[in-house]
Structures are given as structure tokens and as C-alpha cells.
């Protein structure tokens, strides 16, 4: 009797346990299915609405970052554009490396101001310039081709490296470099900033005035720059990933408390690294703090020399300074002197923008508006005309 | 502290968690401290202002309740004190500037008539007083309190409770304007957090954030561009700017209210509703029963009724309506265009009332009034009225009002202006977000009508929702991500924060 009772109660406990675990499994499965459904729905809806497609850069061992080739970018941060980057990662239509005979090719170098995600591709000054030149200058040249190599966050140093490694093979007849406010600061790194520096190559001048490349920040962050299949896939294809990255960027810029909490977490995560002797060595300075303009001028000089060696035209364009910002005024002055000494053309866009009744209408925050792009294109066309005429 | 800021995102969960963890007797204290921290996050010194106003009104309430004589005098002093504080912080600059303008223009006019008369040398006074956040709201709550105590309601004897009523952070900055009787009944209840309250609170917060960030802020970008480029707009552009603003302010303010109500629910408190589908109102009177309900009932109870309400001769009723609405307009901000907005609404209410009386006299018209066509025509007219009224509210000068108004009308030529705003609207996320929101409202309405138990799939989903915390968590995170994705680059404050 007792035995049977015990047997009976054990059965009940087992069956209860079984039904509990079955119930748990059922809910776990339902939760997973629900999670999957949510991800699919969210991805679909975000893609339909054109949201989360603003991530267009990927890590690069050599440059710190570069465009994701073929990425469909929907830009909403300021202005609007909806385009696909070219197969080689240009914010431009497709261009073949080999140049057609009789074509005058112009390469545009610069940061986000040249990249111009704030307006449609056809409204960028590169495209407007190409169209203007082809309609008005067909008599002297069979065809003009403008190739936009602009990439967000690039410093002058990165642009020089970009020319040497990628652009040279495109055999451009003219190279236009847009110098933007703040570019000079991005070329050098001060010792105190090394820990939190942007991941990119930096430059310095030695005691003899020779220009050198400092890859210490790149090397120190090599783990972040190496390919990471899952992360790379998400970066290229996931709108949710794009939303999170964008939110992180916006919060980092706009919310001081977010920055603080983030830095605490990062410090905590990087705690083991601090005690790693390998990392210590790369974060130590091997040269004194640099004069950013001296380094920038050396970089531009190097670029100008490279271009001149191939008998090509170099035009240095200076971003318009409509607020008479003193630092940029001084920088422009130095760059104009450099241009005179090294015999290349320097085009300061300030005067043409200031001539406008409403100079602000040429900008969307810190970038050119559609109208601003038209002004740049018309200014640049005049300089290109001069150069083409000179050559002919 | 903004409801749509990262700081609040961190602040709220911490306060909620602490609230339910600590013993019940300390919870009011916690909410009070949290409310002051919330308020002082902006300008710490203004915390003293709210404390000072709280102490004075607490004392006034007790004195009025205990006094056998001179009660009216004490009430008058109390009213003057509260209105004085509001006027000092909110209207001092406006009053000083307009007094200067009156003297200056008067002396100019006098000089043109009598050349010997001197022109005023009085300099334009610059009064730099930063408006304390939410002063219009908590001042109205104080007025309600002392008036109700004067009328015989029991005062709040516990200072801590009274201070919490005044400072309760979910409704501190932009309402809803609470009634102390409702609030006091909820103090200390419930003792444990109910799943329904938690779920409802989180849902309201997410709904509010969606309205504010996804709809309001994105519409705001388009509307701001329209109003700052009023001279360059095409006809459709002007319509988009004007209609957009009416919806922007709704999404912004009702979004704020939802977040506030949701936050309050997480502590087990119920804050009154402020909106009830206002754009479906068939006339202006109905609109004011659906829009900013806590303000309109306050204005009714503490201004319109004391003026005599509707129990006075017809001309006085109209006068009372106008006065109530003009002052209601001025309550929104110290500027003439707010007064004009109020006067426009007052006029609309007078016409609406007269039209109602006129229709009631004719039996045929009265029958038509019950038809759907009549109803929807009324909705259309009311919306049109609101769009025009919104112009007065949003435009900073009368010239801007005229420019936009004339651009909207087909009588005026536009010389082939571009439709930049139309393009901006079409490429923005606003159209798809509005469609999604409308679908959500329709689904919500349908779910209330249909019995879920009859639909097996819906039943299974509901069961899953109720029994699985991970499922709810995933759903909340998904909606949060959605809001994050549609958020503009920079968060903008709530429009009603400036009032």
C-alpha cells in the first residue's frame, strides 16, 4: 500500500516536472520565434522607411576607415540623399580605372564636404562641374570626367595617402583637394590625446623637417581594424545595426552624461589592456608635440610634388569662411603663400560665398547645400578652364 | 530634465527600482527628493522657488481652512501672491517692453502734433528673467488648491504630501494640471507594483516617445523650415507648414503627457488624461473638451464660472468666453500673438455657440445635425479653423501670419515658387510614420470592439504576451529601437516647456 502510494506520488512529481520543463521549453521556443519575428519585422520596416542606412564606413588597416563598396546609403543626418556607393567605394557613379582617350579626368579629394551626402549625387559640385564643363568646354576637350574620392572624416594626411595608393592609377589630369577647417588638427596627434584618438594614420616632422607617418594609433587598435565577419556583415546589411551605431554617435555628440558613462564602461573593458606591456609601448610618444599647420603644409607639398612629377594640375581649394573665423583666415594665408611658392593654384571659396546676399543658404549645417554646390562648381570651372587653356 | 533625454532614461528606472525596493513609508520621501532633483537638473536655484511657493501655499491652505473670518481676504492675498509670482517670472519682460513702447510711441505722436513736446528718453528696459520651467502649471495647481480649500475642501495637513503634489515630477513641467483631491487619494497606493500598471506605464512612455520623437520632432524640422522661410514657400509648402504645425504641437504635447502619465503609472499613480482624439471634434466647443483637457477644465472652473459662466445674459456669456480664452492665450506665453490666438479661439467659441443656438431654432436643421455628413463637415471646418489659429500660435509676427495666410489662398500669385517643403516632407520619415500610427490607432480601436477569445491566433498572442516576460521585453526593446531609428539627430525640447 505504502509502496504504491510512494510510486504514485513519484509519478506525479515526475509528470509535473515534465510538464513544467515542457512548458518552459514551449515558452522559450515561443520567445525565440517572437524575437526572430521582431528582428525581421523591424529590419523590414526600417528598410522600407529608409532608416538605419547611414552607416557607410568600415575599418581599414591602412587608412583607419574607408567607404563600404556598393553600400546603399540613405542620409538623413542633415539634408537628404539616397544613393549607392560605387563598386570600389566612391561616393560617385561607376568609373573605370583606365581613362578613355581624349578624356580630361579631374579627381576630387577631401572629407565629407567633398563626399556630399547631404545632397543627391547629381547635385554635388563634382557632378555639376562635370555637366558644366561638358556643355561649355566641348570645343577644347572631347570629354570631362570628374571622380569624387571624398570620404567623411579624412584628414589631409589620409587624402595624400589615398592619392598615392588609389588615385594615381586613375591617371587624373587635375587633382582638386578641398581643405576644410579642422583638417590640420586631424593630421597630428598630441601625446595627451593618444588614448582616445581617432583611428587613423598621423604625421610628424623630424628635427630635419622630414615628414614621417605615425601608425601607432592604427597599430594599437589593430584588433578593431581586422575583419570581423559577423560585425562586418551587420554593418553592411543590418538596419538595426545602423540605428544603434547612429544613436551611439548622436548621443556621444549631444549627451555629455552618455559620454561619461560610455567612457567609464570603456575604461572598465580596457582595464586589462592598461596592464599589458605591449600596449604601453605603442602609446608612448617618439617625437615632441607638433605644429599642425607645419605638418599640413608638408603634406600638401608632398602631394603637390607627386602631382607635378606626373605633369598634372593641382588645385588646392579652401572651404569658405563666411564667419571670418580667425584660425581659418590665418591658415588660408599660409596655404596661399605655400601655393605661390610651389606654383600650384589655390582657390579660396570665401569671397564667392560672401558675395551671396544670404551666404548661409549655401550651407546645410557644416556642409554645402544644393546652392552651395553650384557656387563651388562654377568657381572650380573657371579655374579648370584656365588650366585647360594653358595646356592647350 | 527632458523626458526625451538620456538623463531621464537613466533617472526613471533608478527611481522606479528604488521606489519599489524601499519600505513603503519612505516612498513619498523618495518621490519628493526625485522630483526636486528632476526640477533642479535645469537651474538648481529655481528649486528654491518651487519650495518657497509650496511653503506659502501650504500655509495659506491651512490658514484659510482654520480662519473663521477674513477668509476672502486671505484667499485674495493668496491669489495675488500666486498670480504675482507668475507675472513676475513670465510677464515682467513683456509688460516692461510694452510699457516702454507705449510711452515712446506716445511721446513720438505728441511730438509730431506739438513739436515743443519732448520725446521720451526712457531706454528700452531689458528684463532678463529666465522663466522657471513649469511655473504656469504648478501656479495653476496652487490656485486650484487654495480656491478649493476656500470653498470647503479639506486642506492637506501633511507638508510632505503637499510638497509632492506640487512637485510630482511626471506632471511637474507641463502638466496635466492635477486636482489635489484625486492625487491625495492615491498617495501610498498600491503597496506593490502591479503588472498591469507596469505594462501600461511602459506602453504609455513608448507611445509618448513615438509621438514626440518620431512624429513631432520630424514634423518640427519641416515646420520650422517652413516658418523661417515663409517668404519663399509655394502654396502647397505653406499648407504643409501650417497643417504640420497643428499636428506637431499635438504630437509633441500629447506625447509629453503620455510619457508623464506612463511614468506616474510606474509608481502606481494615475495622472488625468489631457487629450481625447481632439482632431475628431465636430465643433470648437467639443474640441476644447478633447484638447488640453486639464487646462480647459481649470479655465472653466476657476475663470469662466467665477465670471458668471453661462448663467448670465447672452452678451455676458460671450464676453466671459472671450476673456477666458484671451487669458488662456496669454497663459501660453508673454507675447501678443498668443493673445491673438486666444482671442481667435474665443471668437470661434462665440460663433460656435451662436451657430448651435441658431440651428436649434429650426427643426429641419436640427435633424440634419444628427447626420454623418453634418458631423464630418463640422470636423472639417473645425480642423480648418485650428490650422488658421495655429498660424497665430506659431508665427512670431503678424507679418508672418499674413505672408503664410496669403500664400495658402489661391487668390494670390506665387510667381512659380519651388515646392521645397513638399519635397522635404515626401523624403522624410513623417508620411510612413503617420501611416504606421494611424494603423496602430485603427488596430487598437478594432481590438477594443472585437472579442479576442474568438480569434485563436490573437488569443495565443495575448496569452504569450501575458505569460512571457522575455516576449514583452523583446517587444519593448523593438519599439525602443524603432523610436531610436526615427529620431532626428538632435533632441528638441517639448513645445509646452516654454509655457
Ordered DSSP codes for B89-141: IIIHHHHHHHHHHHHHHHHHHHHHHSTTSPPP---------PPPTTHHHHHHH
- Do residue A27 and residue B467 have CB atoms under 8 angstroms apart? yes
- Do residue B478 and residue A46 have CB atoms under 8 angstroms apart? no
Neighbours of B55 (CB within 10 A): 14
- Do residue A50 and residue B429 have CB atoms under 8 angstroms apart? yes
Q: What are phi and psi of A357, to 5 degrees?
A: -60, -35
What chain B residue is nearest to A54 in terms of C-alpha separation? B485
Q: What pLDDT is attached to residue B215?
A: 94
**B interface toward A at CB cutoff 8 Å?**
5-7, 10, 424, 427-429, 432-433, 436, 464, 467-468, 470-471, 474-475, 478, 481-482, 484-487, 489-491
How distant is the alpha carbon of residue A189 from its chain centre?
18
Q: Is the pLDDT of residue B30 over 90?
A: yes
Mean pLDDT (whole number) for A256-268 = 88
Q: What pLDDT is attached to residue B284?
A: 92
- Do residue A31 and residue B471 have CB atoms under 8 angstroms apart? yes
**Catalytic (active site) residue B229:** no
Q: What pLDDT is attached to residue A4?
A: 41
Q: What pLDDT is attached to residue B250?
A: 94
Alpha helices in chain A (DSSP H): 2-49, 112-115, 125-136, 156-162, 183-187, 216-220, 222-225, 229-237, 239-254, 256-269, 271-274, 277-282, 292-309, 326-342, 350-354, 370-391
Q: Which of residues 52-71 of A touch B (CB under 8 A)?
A: 52
Q: What pLDDT is attached to residue A5?
A: 39
Q: What pLDDT is attached to residue A7?
A: 40
Mean pLDDT (whole number) for B97-104 = 81
Q: How many residues does chain B have?
A: 499
Closest CA to B53 of B41, B71, B36, B68: B36
Structure-block grid coordinates of residue A289:
608635440
For B251-279, what is each residue's pLDDT tens digit? 999 999 999 999 999 998 888 889 999 99
Structure-block grid coordinates of residue B295:
487646462
Tell me the chain B residues in contact with residue A251 when contact means C-beta distances shorter than 8 Å: 6
CA-based max dimension of chain A: 115
Q: What pLDDT is attached to residue A268?
A: 87
Tell me the chain B residues in contact with residue A367 when contact means C-beta distances shorter than 8 Å: none
Q: Which residues pair with A106 in a beta bridge?
A: A146, A174
For chain A, report the end-to-end CA distance as a whole number of angstroms: 115
**Cβ atoms of B387 and B241 closer than 8 Å:** no
Q: What pLDDT is attached to residue A10?
A: 46
Tell me the chain A residues in contact with residue B474 when contact means C-beta distances shorter than 8 Å: 31, 34-35, 38
How many angstroms separate the CA atoms of A112 and A94, rounded?
19
Q: What pLDDT is attached to residue B263?
A: 94
Nearest 5°: the CA angle B356, B409, B288 is 35
- Do residue A250 and residue B490 have CB atoms under 8 angstroms apart? yes
* Burial environment of residue B185 by CB neighbours within 10 A (0 to 12, 13 to 18, 19 or more): exposed
Structure-block grid coordinates of residue B101:
513702447
CA–CA distances in Å: residue B150 to residues B77, B139, B161, B303 = 12, 17, 19, 15
Instruction: Kindly report which listed range (A8-22, A48-62, B80-94, B435-449) carries the lowest average pLDDT score.
Output: A8-22
Q: With an 8 Å Cβ cutoff, is A311 touching chain B?
A: no
What chain B residue is nearest to A47 in terms of C-alpha separation? B485
CA distance B405 to chain A (A): 24
pLDDT mean across residues, chain B? 87
Closest CA to B148 of B257, B64, B50: B64
How many angstroms separate the CA atoms of B179 and B222, rounded?
37
Label residue A165 by pLDDT band (50, 70, 90): very high
- Do residue B429 and residue A82 have CB atoms under 8 angstroms apart? no
Q: Is the pLDDT of residue A277 over 70?
A: no
Q: Is the pLDDT of residue A11 over 80?
A: no
**Cβ atoms of B325 and B305 closer than 8 Å:** no
Tell me the chain A residues in contact with residue B428 when contact means C-beta distances shorter than 8 Å: 76, 80
How many angstroms separate the CA atoms of A217 and B380, rounded?
63
How many angstroms separate the CA atoms of B197 and B206, rounded?
14
Tell me the chain A residues in contact with residue B491 when contact means C-beta distances shorter than 8 Å: 254
How many angstroms separate the CA atoms of B350 and B497, rounded?
29
For chain B, report the end-to-end CA distance as a whole number of angstroms: 15
- Residue of A28, A119, A250 to mutate, testing the B interface (most B Cβ within 10 Å of its Cβ): A250
Neighbours of B497 (CB within 10 A): 17
For A219-254, what is each residue's pLDDT tens digit? 888 888 888 899 999 998 999 999 998 888 888 888
- Residue of A43, A51, A248 to mutate, testing the B interface (most B Cβ within 10 Å of its Cβ): A51
Tell me the chain B residues in contact with residue A365 when contact means C-beta distances shorter than 8 Å: none
**Active-site residue identified among B332, B337, B356, B375:** B332
Neighbours of A358 (CB within 10 A): 7
Label residue A119 by pLDDT band (50, 70, 90): very high
CA distance B315 to chain A (A): 52
What is the arrangement of strands in the sheet containing A103-109, beginning at the earlier edge strand? Answer: A143-148, A103-109, A174-179, A313-318, A345-348
Highest mean pLDDT among B93-102, B114-123, B198-207: B198-207
Instruction: Kindly report which listed range (A195-204, A218-227, A356-365, B456-465) carries the lowest average pLDDT score.
Output: B456-465
Closest CA to B294 of B324, B257, B263, B264: B257
Mean pLDDT (whole number) for B464-487 = 86
Mean pLDDT (whole number) for B349-362 = 88
For B146-176, what is each residue's pLDDT tens digit? 999 999 999 999 999 999 999 999 988 877 8
CA distance B302 to chain A (A): 41
Highest mean pLDDT among A388-392, B231-235, B245-249: B245-249
Mean pLDDT (whole number) for A160-172 = 93
Q: What pLDDT is attached to residue B499?
A: 59
Label residue A385 by pLDDT band (50, 70, 90): confident
Amino acid at each position: 500500500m505504502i509502496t504504491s502510494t510512494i510510486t504514485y506520488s513519484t509519478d506525479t512529481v515526475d509528470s509535473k516536472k515534465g510538464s513544467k520543463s515542457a512548458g518552459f521549453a514551449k515558452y522559450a521556443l515561443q520567445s525565440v520565434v517572437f524575437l526572430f519575428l521582431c528582428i525581421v519585422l523591424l529590419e523590414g520596416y526600417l528598410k522600407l522607411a529608409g532608416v538605419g542606412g547611414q552607416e557607410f564606413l568600415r575599418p581599414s588597416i591602412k587608412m583607419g576607415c574607408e567607404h563600404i563598396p556598393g553600400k546603399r546609403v540613405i542620409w538623413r543626418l542633415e539634408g537628404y540623399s539616397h544613393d549607392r556607393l560605387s563598386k570600389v567605394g566612391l561616393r560617385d557613379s561607376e568609373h573605370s580605372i583606365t581613362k578613355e582617350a581624349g578624356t580630361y579626368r579631374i579627381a576630387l579629394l577631401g572629407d565629407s564636404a567633398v563626399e556630399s551626402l547631404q545632397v543627391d549625387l547629381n547635385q554635388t559640385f563634382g557632378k555639376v562641374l562635370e555637366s558644366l564643363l561638358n556643355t561649355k568646354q566641348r570645343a577644347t576637350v572631347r570629354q570631362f570626367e570628374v571622380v569624387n574620392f571624398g570620404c567623411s572624416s579624412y584628414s589631409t594626411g589620409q587624402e595624400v595617402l589615398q592619392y598615392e595608393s588609389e588615385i594615381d592609377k586613375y591617371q587624373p589630369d587635375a587633382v582638386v583637394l578641398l581643405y576644410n577647417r579642422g583638417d590640420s588638427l586631424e593630421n597630428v596627434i598630441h601625446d595627451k590625446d593618444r588614448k582616445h584618438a581617432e583611428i587613423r594614420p598621423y604625421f610628424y616632422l623630424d628635427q630635419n623637417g622630414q615628414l614621417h607617418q605615425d601608425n601607432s594609433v592604427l597599430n594599437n587598435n589593430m584588433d578593431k581594424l581586422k575583419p570581423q565577419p559577423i560585425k562586418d556583415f551587420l554593418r553592411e546589411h543590418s538596419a538595426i545595426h545602423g540605428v544603434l551605431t547612429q544613436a551611439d554617435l548622436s548621443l556621444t555628440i549631444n549627451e555629455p552624461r552618455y559620454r561619461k558613462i560610455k567612457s567609464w564602461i570603456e575604461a572598465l573593458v580596457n582595464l586589462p589592456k592598461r596592464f599589458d606591456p605591449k600596449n604601453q609601448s605603442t602609446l608612448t610618444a617618439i617625437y615632441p608635440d607638433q605644429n599642425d599647420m607645419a605638418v599640413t603644409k608638408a603634406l600638401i607639398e608632398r602631394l603637390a610634388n607627386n602631382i607635378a612629377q606626373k605633369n598634372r594640375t593641382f588645385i588646392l581649394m579652401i572651404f569658405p569662411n563666411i564667419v571670418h573665423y580667425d584660425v581659418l583666415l590665418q591658415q588660408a594665408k599660409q596655404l596661399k603663400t605655400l601655393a605661390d611658392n610651389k606654383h600650384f593654384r589655390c582657390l579660396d571659396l570665401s569671397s564667392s560665398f560672401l558675395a551671396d546676399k544670404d551666404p548661409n543658404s549655401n550651407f546645410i549645417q557644416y556642409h554645402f547645400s544644393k546652392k552651395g554646390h553650384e557656387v563651388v562648381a562654377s568657381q572650380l570651372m573657371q579655374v579648370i578652364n584656365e588650366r585647360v587653356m594653358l595646356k592647350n | 530634465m527632458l523626458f526625451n533625454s538620456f538623463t531621464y532614461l537613466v533617472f526613471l528606472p533608478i527611481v522606479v527600482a528604488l521606489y519599489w525596493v524601499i519600505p513603503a513609508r519612505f516612498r513619498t520621501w523618495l518621490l519628493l527628493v526625485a522630483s526636486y532633483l528632476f526640477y533642479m537638473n535645469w537651474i538648481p536655484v529655481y528649486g528654491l522657488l518651487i519650495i518657497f511657493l509650496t511653503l506659502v501655499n501650504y500655509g495659506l491652505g491651512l490658514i484659510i481652512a482654520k480662519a473663521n473670518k477674513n477668509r476672502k481676504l486671505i484667499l485674495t492675498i493668496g491669489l495675488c501672491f500666486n498670480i504675482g509670482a507668475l507675472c513676475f517670472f513670465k510677464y515682467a519682460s513683456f509688460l516692461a517692453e510694452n510699457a516702454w513702447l507705449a510711452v515712446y510711441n506716445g511721446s513720438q505722436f505728441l511730438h509730431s502734433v506739438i513739436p515743443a513736446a519732448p520725446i521720451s528718453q526712457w531706454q528700452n528696459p531689458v528684463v532678463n528673467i529666465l522663466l522657471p520651467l513649469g511655473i504656469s502649471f504648478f501656479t495653476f495647481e496652487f490656485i486650484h488648491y487654495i480656491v478649493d480649500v476656500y470653498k470647503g475642501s479639506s486642506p492637506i495637513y501633511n507638508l510632505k504630501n503637499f510638497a509632492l503634489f506640487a512637485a510630482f515630477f511626471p506632471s511637474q513641467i507641463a502638466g496635466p494640471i492635477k486636482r489635489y483631491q484625486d492625487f491625495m487619494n492615491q498617495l501610498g497606493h498600491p503597496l506593490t507594483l502591479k503588472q498591469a500598471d507596469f505594462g501600461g506605464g511602459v506602453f504609455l512612455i513608448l507611445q509618448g516617445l513615438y509621438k514626440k520623437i518620431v512624429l513631432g520632432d520630424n514634423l518640427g524640422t519641416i515646420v520650422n523650415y517652413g516658418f523661417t522661410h515663409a517668404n519663399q514657400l509655394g502654396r502647397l509648402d505653406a499648407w504643409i507648414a501650417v497643417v504640420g504645425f497643428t499636428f506637431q504641437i499635438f504630437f509633441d504635447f500629447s506625447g509629453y503627457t503620455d510619457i508623464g502619465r506612463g511614468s506616474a503609472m510606474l509608481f502606481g499613480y494615475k495622472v488625468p488624461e489631457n487629450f481625447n482624439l481632439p482632431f475628431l471634434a465636430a465643433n470648437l466647443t467639443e474640441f476644447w473638451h478633447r484638447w488640453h483637457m486639464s487646462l480647459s477644465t481649470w479655465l472653466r472652473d476657476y475663470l469662466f464660472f467665477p465670471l458668471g459662466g453661462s448663467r448670465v445674459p447672452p452678451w455676458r456669456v460671450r464676453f466671459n468666453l472671450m476673456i477666458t480664452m484671451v487669458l488662456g492665450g496669454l497663459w501660453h506665453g508673454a507675447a501678443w500673438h498668443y493673445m491673438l490666438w486666444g482671442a481667435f479661439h474665443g471668437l470661434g467659441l462665440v460663433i460656435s455657440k451662436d451657430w448651435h443656438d441658431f440651428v436649434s431654432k429650426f427643426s429641419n436643421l436640427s435633424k440634419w445635425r444628427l447626420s454623418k455628413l453634418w458631423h464630418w463637415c463640422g470636423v472639417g471646418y473645425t480642423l480648418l479653423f485650428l490650422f488658421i489659429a495655429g498660424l497665430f500660435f506659431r508665427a512670431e509676427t503678424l507679418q508672418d501670419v499674413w505672408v503664410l495666410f496669403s500664400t495658402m489662398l489661391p487668390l494670390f500669385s506665387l510667381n512659380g515658387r519651388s515646392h521645397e517643403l513638399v519635397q522635404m516632407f515626401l523624403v522624410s520619415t513623417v508620411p510612413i510614420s503617420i501611416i504606421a500610427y494611424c494603423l496602430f490607432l485603427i488596430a487598437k480601436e478594432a481590438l477594443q470592439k472585437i472579442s479576442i477569445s474568438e480569434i485563436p491566433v490573437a488569443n495565443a498572442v495575448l496569452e504569450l504576451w501575458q505569460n512571457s516576460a522575455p516576449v514583452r521585453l523583446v517587444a519593448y526593446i523593438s519599439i525602443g529601437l524603432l523610436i531610436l531609428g526615427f529620431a532626428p539627430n538632435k533632441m528638441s525640447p517639448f513645445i509646452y516647456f516654454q509655457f
